[in-house]
Amino acid sequence: MTDESAAPGRDFVRQRIADELAAGQHPTGVVTRFPPEPNGYLHIGHAKSICLNFSVAEEHGGRCYLRFDDTNPLKEDQDFADAIERDVRWLGFSWEDRLTHASDYYDRFYALAVQLIEAGKAYVDSLSAEEIREFRGTLTEPGKPSPYRERSVEENLDLFTRMRAGEFADGEHVLRAKIDMASPNMNLRDPTLYRIRRIAHQRTGSDWCVYPMYDFAHTVSDALEGITHSLCTLEFEDHRPLYDWILDQLGLPHRPRQIEFSRLNVAYMITSKRKLAQLIEHGDVTGWDDPRMPTLAGLRRRGYPPEALREFCRRIGVTKKDHVIEMGLLESTVRETLNETATRAMAVVNPIKVVLTNYPDGQSEMMAASNHPNRPDLGERELPFGRELWIERDDFMEDPPRKFFRLKPGGEVRLRYAYIIKCEAVIKNDAGEIVELHCSYDPDTRSGRPGAERKVKGTIHWVAAAQSVPAKVRLYDRLFSEPRPDADPQGRDFRALLNPESLQTVEHAQLEPSLADYAPGDCCQFERLGYFVADAVDSQPGAPVFNRVVTLRDSWAKAEKAALADL
Ligand code: ATP
Ligand code: MG
């Protein structure tokens, strides 16, 4: 089935399932699984697979398993498994009581391997790993049979039993499927089913010293769980004949079908756990949950709402075409979600002091400000106003171009929710740097007061100095400055393409007082600046730390489109 044959609004996977259901197949429901290996944190690519597997099951009244593919104890860890559970839950999906592990089935795998040996479909090979590779041939040359390929069933059973009993060293023998050493599909040239690994497993301890290979464990797990649709990425297309071969030999009651779809690649991002781990090892980022990481933990800490990620996955759809999604699409989805949900507040990240010389010393007043421009349900708050204020340094220019409508010497600007002010004097230090602006305010222009609405061209944000909350603000940008860091057309190593400006830390931002109450993880729009989130790790009561989630506008859009078009 091709992508094109799906009905509008339906991808080819859903179309195929709909057709099968209409034909009366799957009477006990659609069953899917998300099968991560607990060897790292989940990333945005996994989000696509999670959304697909869980949603497809949900839409058809079916079930989805979260199954840990834990067959390589060398690389796996319980901490990774815990993080994966947390991230899938955060993304908004529930496996209910269907949390399983490949290691739950080790006894079954072993028994089925014995069954294959007894049927003459598997043999113990004693070639070294290197010899096996040599004997396998190449894409253009057939492989050669191993001298051990014709061992008798009895000998194979004896050796396999002894492999399991721990009589041999790692690599001394493997169990291989007996399929076809001349097959044009390399995966069918007697693939390895079991190998010796004399190390403890995070869940089964030292019970086992032979571990199944991915293809065998994965296929059998799917069948044992009654998976109807084994959805995986395109690189497994060539493994499907092996998947089907294993099912054919074992004759298990359920026969899952594998369907492949294209991986998610997002421009400027890397989706390989191995490479992400390297960034951590080199200290390029602070960990798996660094807000610049494309991991779900990183995106969560960055302030991306889970509903935005689900919506993003919905928008990109599911096809068999390999492509790179613009990061702009991800960011605009985040922006749209936060535009609806995030409360507004004022913060000054690069402050310069304004003194209102005609505002009585010691006086202050409260200004009403709505928390959201079109959501009255989010209420209002009161902003203190006084003689000394912080404004953004960029909102003043001593020698501005003609179309500059913010503050300039002798010019007027409206302070949001407050008064119109006029710049009367620019105060400099001995080095000639501007340290303060002396302004006058027009008492007849208080916002919201009927009849007093004189108009000026510019409106800027501000924070009252007496009540402002000092904070650290982290301005994040994309982690890589090139669109395909993991497949650079010039062949540069991905770490050479890190964006040196991916993090800019502002130590002394000034926030309006309401922002002191934001709990870690709470999102907000700093008016005119972008969306921000109170950092889940570093933000403390009395010492807030805010991360920029996303800017209000896509400043990369043009560059990104051009860069992707060039590839
Ligand atoms: P990585 O290359 O990052 O190590 P992986 O495929 O080895 O990823 P697994 O833990 O085996 O990681 O993946 C679990 C599931 O997520 C698999 O079914 C895999 O196909 C899917 N998956 C992984 N990366 C992507 C991606 N970029 N887009 C869509 N699905 C993905
Ligand atoms: Mg994998």
Interval 310-344: pLDDT, tens: 999 999 999 999 889 999 999 999 999 999 999 99
Query: In Å, how far are 149, 272, 274, 533 from 502, measured between CA atoms?
Result: 55, 19, 21, 17
Report how far residue 204's alpha carbon sits from residue 200's, in angstroms, rounded to the nearest whole number: 7
- Cα of 29 vs centre of ligand 1, distance in Å, is 25
pLDDT confidence tier of residue 244, bands split at 50, 70 and 90:
very high
Handedness of CA 50, 53, 59, 63 (dihedral sign): negative
- Cα of 320 vs centre of ligand 1, distance in Å, is 15
Strand order in the sheet with 412-415: 459-460, 412-415, 420-428, 434-442, 351-356, 388-392, 462-464
**Nearest ligand atom owner, CA of 259:** 1
Q: Which of 259, 238, 262, 275 is nearest to 323 (CA)?
A: 262
**Nearest ligand atom owner, CA of 46:** 1
Count CA atoms within 13 Å of residue 34 on its CB side.
27
Report how far residue 31's alpha carbon sits from residue 226's, in angstroms, rounded to the nearest whole number: 7
Same domain, 453 and 478: no
Residue among 222, 233, 234 to mutate when testing ligand 1 (max atoms within 8 A of CB): 233
Same domain, 435 and 560: no
CATH number for the domain harbouring residue 320:
2.40.240.10
What pLDDT is stored for residue 5 in this prediction? 58
What pLDDT is stored for residue 534 in this prediction? 98
What pLDDT is stored for residue 243 in this prediction? 98
Strands in 168-246 per DSSP E? 174-177, 192-196, 210-212, 229-233
Q: What is the pLDDT of residues 96-144, one digit of tens each?
A: 999 999 999 999 999 999 999 999 999 999 999 999 999 999 999 999 9
Q: Which residues pair with 236 in a beta bridge?
A: none
Same domain, 177 and 286: no
Phi, psi (degrees; rounded to nearest 5) at 203: -115, -35
Query: Does residue 385 contact residue 467 with C-beta atoms inside 8 Å?
Result: no
- Cα of 232 vs centre of ligand 2, distance in Å, is 10
Q: Is the CB of 230 under 6 A from ligand 1?
A: no
Q: Is the CB of 525 under 6 A from ligand 1?
A: no
Q: Quick check: is 140 in a domain?
A: yes
Q: Is the CB of 319 under 6 A from ligand 1?
A: no
Strands in 106-151 per DSSP E? 122-125
**Number of folded domains that form the chain:** 3
- Cα of 233 vs centre of ligand 2, distance in Å, is 10
Q: Which residues pair with 531 in a beta bridge?
A: 525, 550
Q: What is the pLDDT of residues 201-212, one digit of tens each?
A: 999 999 999 999
Same domain, 28 and 174: yes
Q: What is the pLDDT of residues 20-67, one digit of tens each?
A: 999 999 999 999 999 999 999 999 999 999 999 999 999 999 999 999
Residue among 46, 56, 95 to mutate when testing ligand 1 (max atoms within 8 A of CB): 46
Report how far residue 297's alpha carbon sits from residue 42's, in angstroms, rounded to the nearest whole number: 8
Q: Quick check: is 518 in a domain?
A: yes
Report how far residue 101's alpha carbon sits from residue 492's, in angstroms, rounded to the nearest whole number: 38
Mean pLDDT of the chain: 95
- How many C-beta neighbours within 10 Å does residue 530 have? 20
Burial environment of residue 374 by CB neighbours within 10 A (0 to 12, 13 to 18, 19 or more): exposed
Report how far residue 179's alpha carbon sits from residue 191's, in angstroms, rounded to the nearest whole number: 8
Question: Atom 1 in ligand 1: which residue has the minimum CA distance?
Answer: 272
What pLDDT is stored for residue 448 in this prediction? 84
Q: Which of 309, 289, 311 is nearest to 301 (CA)?
A: 289
- Cα angle for residues 7, 8, 14 (degrees, 5° grid): 55
Element (H, E) at 93: none
Question: Atom 25 in ligand 1: which residue has the minimum CA distance?
Answer: 45
pLDDT of 558 > 90? The answer is: no
pLDDT of 2 > 60? The answer is: no
- Rounded mean pLDDT, 223-249: 98
Query: Does residue 436 contact residue 354 with C-beta atoms inside 8 Å?
Result: yes
Element (H, E) at 376: none
Same domain, 432 and 551: no
Q: Quick check: is 3 in a domain?
A: no
Atom of ligand 1 nearest to the CA of 276: 3
Question: Atom 23 in ligand 1: which residue has the minimum CA distance?
Answer: 46
- Cα of 93 vs centre of ligand 1, distance in Å, is 17
Same domain, 75 and 195: yes
Query: Does residue 464 contact residue 364 with C-beta atoms inside 8 Å?
Result: yes
pLDDT confidence tier of residue 451, bands split at 50, 70 and 90:
low
Report how far residue 214's alpha carbon sits from residue 46's, in angstroms, rounded to the nearest whole number: 18
Q: Quick check: is 466 in a domain?
A: no
Q: Quick check: is 505 in a domain?
A: yes
Same domain, 412 and 400: yes
Same domain, 332 and 223: no
Same domain, 371 and 226: no
Query: In Å, how far are 29, 36, 511 from 52, measured between CA atoms?
Result: 16, 14, 41
Question: Atom 18 in ligand 1: which residue has the minimum CA distance?
Answer: 232
- Cα of 79 vs centre of ligand 2, distance in Å, is 18
What pLDDT is stored for residue 452 in this prediction? 64
- How many C-beta neighbours within 10 Å does residue 150 have? 11
Residue type, 152: S
What pLDDT is stored for residue 3 in this prediction? 46
Where does a domain end: 409, 441, 461? 461
What pLDDT is stored for residue 556 in this prediction? 77
Q: Is the CB of 263 under 6 A from ligand 1?
A: yes
pLDDT of 1 > 50? The answer is: no
Q: Is the CB of 71 under 6 A from ligand 1?
A: no
- Cα of 220 vs centre of ligand 2, distance in Å, is 16
The pairing of strands 31-34 and 63-68 is parallel
User: Longest Cα pair distance anywhere in the chain, in angstroms?
Assistant: 101
Q: Is the CB of 264 under 6 A from ligand 1?
A: yes
Q: Quick check: is 198 in a domain?
A: yes
Give one word for 305, left, alpha or beta, with left for phi > 0 and alpha for psi -120 to 50: beta
Q: Is the CB of 411 under 6 A from ligand 1?
A: no
Same domain, 199 and 282: no
Q: Quick check: is 4 in a domain?
A: no
**Nearest ligand atom owner, CA of 235:** 1
Query: In Å, how far are 54, 144, 239 from 131, measured between CA atoms?
Result: 42, 11, 22
Question: Atom 15 in ligand 1: which residue has the minimum CA distance?
Answer: 36
Distance of CA 126 to the CA centre of its chain: 42
Query: Does residue 20 contact residue 53 with C-beta atoms inside 8 Å?
Result: no
Where does a domain end: 220, 239, 261? 261
Question: Atom 26 in ligand 1: which residue has the minimum CA distance?
Answer: 45
Same domain, 193 and 81: yes
Query: Does residue 217 contact residue 71 with C-beta atoms inside 8 Å?
Result: yes
Q: What is the pLDDT of residues 492-524, one digit of tens each?
A: 999 999 999 999 999 999 999 999 999 999 999
Report how far residue 166's alpha carbon sits from residue 195's, in angstroms, rounded to the nearest whole number: 12
Q: Is the CB of 328 under 6 A from ligand 1?
A: no
Q: Which of 239, 248, 241, 186 is nearest to 214 (CA)?
A: 239
pTM: 0.94
What percent of the chain clears pLDDT 90, i.e. is strictly above it? 93
Residue among 49, 56, 64 to mutate when testing ligand 1 (max atoms within 8 A of CB): 49
Q: Is the CB of 37 under 6 A from ligand 1?
A: yes
- Cα of 365 vs centre of ligand 1, distance in Å, is 56
What pLDDT is stored for residue 454 in this prediction? 82
Q: Give catalytic residue positions.
A: 37, 263, 273
Report how far residue 69's alpha carbon sits from residue 33's, in angstroms, rounded to the nearest whole number: 11
pLDDT of 302 > 90? The answer is: yes
Atom of ligand 1 nearest to the CA of 35: 14
Report how far residue 77's alpha carbon sits from residue 80's, in angstroms, rounded to the nearest whole number: 5
What pLDDT is stored for residue 40 in this prediction? 97
Q: What is the pLDDT of residues 136-170, one digit of tens each?
A: 999 999 999 999 999 999 999 999 999 999 999 99
Q: Quick check: is 1 in a domain?
A: no
Q: What is the pLDDT of residues 341-394, one digit of tens each?
A: 999 999 999 999 999 999 999 999 999 999 999 999 999 999 999 999 999 999
Domain extent for 537: 273-343+471-565
What pLDDT is stored for residue 566 in this prediction? 72
Query: In Å, how far are 288, 484, 537 from 566, measured between CA atoms?
Result: 31, 11, 39
- How many C-beta neighbours within 10 Å does residue 187 have? 18
Q: Is the CB of 275 under 6 A from ligand 1?
A: no
Same domain, 450 and 543: no
- Rounded mean pLDDT, 390-400: 97
Report how far residue 188's alpha carbon sits from residue 185's, in angstroms, rounded to the nearest whole number: 6
Q: Which residues pair with 353 in a beta bridge?
A: 390, 436
Where does a domain end: 226, 241, 261? 261
- Cα of 43 vs centre of ligand 2, distance in Å, is 12
Q: What is the pLDDT of residues 254-272, one digit of tens each?
A: 999 999 999 999 999 999 9
pLDDT of 291 > 50? The answer is: yes
